[in-house]
Amino acid sequence: MRQSLSLLAAISRTQPSKLKKPAVSLDHFIQRQRVLSLWREIVRALHKAPPSPTRDELRSYARHEFERNRDVSDLVGSPSP
């Protein structure tokens, strides 16, 4: 059984990854999860508000801001936990 595990480990090291993008660091992963959590919180809060043009404007504004910052990848400005 150990031979098969070492063979599997050797094979997986030599084959290139099938992922299109390289894996992100743990810090980037955690920050991405925080951003997604913030987006969900905003959408849930807006859903609780009564339907109005203001609610639509707020959702549009939030979406625009998230889209505008989609490609930001530095962690310098992120607050510490």
Residues 15-28: pLDDT tens digits? Answer: 667 777 788 889 99
Q: Supply the pLDDT for residue 77.
A: 63
Global pTM value: 0.65
Q: Supply the pLDDT for residue 21.
A: 78
Q: Which residues of the chain have pLDDT under 70?
A: 1-2, 5, 7-16, 77-81
Residues with Cβ < 8 Å from 78, sequence gap 6 or more? 31
Break the chain into its structural domains and give their ranges: 24-71
How remote is the C-alpha of 50 from its chain's centroid? 29
- Upper half-sphere CA count for residue 27 (Cβ side, 13 Å): 9
Closest C-alpha among 39, 31, 26, 29 to residue 66: 39
Q: Supply the pLDDT for residue 76.
A: 76
